[in-house]
Chain A
Amino acid sequence: MLKRLIYSREGVLSIIVLAMFFGVGVISPDFISLSNSASIFNDTSILIMLALGQMLVILTRCIDLSVAANVAFTGMFVAMVNQYFPELPMALLIFLSLFIGALLGAINGLFVWLLKVPSIVITLGTMSIYRGATFLLSDGAWVNSHQMSESFIGLPRYEILSMPVLGWMAIAAIILFFWAMKFSVWGRNFYSAGGNPMAAFYSGVNVGKVQFYAFLVSGTLSGLCGYLWVSRFAVAYVDVANGFELQVIAACVIGGVSIVGGLGSVVGCVIGALFIGVVNNALPIIGVSPFWQMAISGLVIIIAVIANATSDKDKARIILRNPNANDEIRAN
Chain B
Amino acid sequence: MDTTIKKSATPDSMFTSKLQGLLRWESFLVLIVFLVCVMNSYLSPYFLDPWNLSDATFNFTEKALIALPMAMLIIAKEIDISVAAIISLSSTLMGLVAQMGAPVYVVAFVGVFVGAGCGLVNGVLVTRFNIPSIVVTIGTMSLFRGISYILLGDQVIREYPDGFEFFGQGYVYWVFSFELVLFAFFALVFYWLLHRTTFGRYTYAIGNNPTASYYSGIKVNKHRLILFTLVGIMSGVAAVLLTSRLGSTRPSIAMGWELSIITMVVLGGVSILGGSGTIAGVVLAVILMGLVTFGMGLLNIPGIVMTIIVGVMLITVVSLPVLIAMYKTSLKRKEAKAL
Contact = CB atoms under 8 A, between A and B. Distances in A.
Q: Do A and B come from one complex?
A: yes
Interface of A: 63, 111, 115-118, 120-122, 124-129, 131-133, 135-136, 140, 238, 242-243, 246, 249-250, 253, 259-260, 289, 291-299, 301-302, 305-306, 308-310, 313
Interface in B149-199: 149-150, 153-154
A305 B314 contact: no
Interface residues of B, number: 47
Nearest to B154: A291
Given A291-B150, A306-B129, A298 B140 contact: yes
A305 B153 CA distance: 28
B179 to A, nearest CB: 24
B96 interface: no
A106 B144 CA distance: 34
Contact of A121 (B130, B147, B266): B266
Contacts of B140: 298, 302
B305 A295 contact: no
Given A117-B318, A250-B142, A135 B305 contact: yes
28 contacts: A115-B322, A117-B322, A118-B272, A120-B134, A121-B318, A122-B315, A124-B259, A124-B262, A124-B314, A125-B310, A125-B312, A128-B263, A128-B307, A135-B304, A238-B304, A243-B255, A249-B138, A250-B139, A291-B146, A292-B146, A292-B150, A294-B142, A295-B146, A298-B140, A298-B146, A299-B143, A305-B139, A306-B125
Contacts of A115: 319, 322-323, 326
A63 B153 CA distance: 31
Contact of A291 (B149, B263, B308): B149
A247 B140 CA distance: 13
What's the dominant secondary structure at chain A's contact region?
A: helix
Given A136-B305, A309-B130, A295 B142 contact: yes
The 3 tightest CB contacts between A and B, nearest first, are A295-B146, A298-B142, A298-B143
Nearest to A128: B311
Nearest to A310: B129
A259 B132 CA distance: 8
A298 B142 CA distance: 4
B250 interface: no
Contacts of B154: 291
B135 interface: yes
B264 to A, nearest CB: 12
B138 A121 contact: no
B273 interface: yes
A135 B142 CA distance: 26
Contacts of A295: 142-143, 145-147, 149-150
Nearest to B273: A118
Given A298-B141, A305-B131, A128 B255 contact: no
Nearest to A301: B139
A118 B132 CA distance: 15
Task: Find the residue from B140, B150, B266, B312 having the highest chain A CB count within 10 A.
Answer: B150
Contacts of B323: 115
A127 B272 CA distance: 17
A230 B235 CA distance: 35
Given A124-B259, A127-B311, A291-B149, 11 more contacts: A128-B263, A132-B304, A135-B304, A135-B305, A242-B256, A246-B138, A246-B141, A250-B138, A259-B134, A260-B132, A305-B139
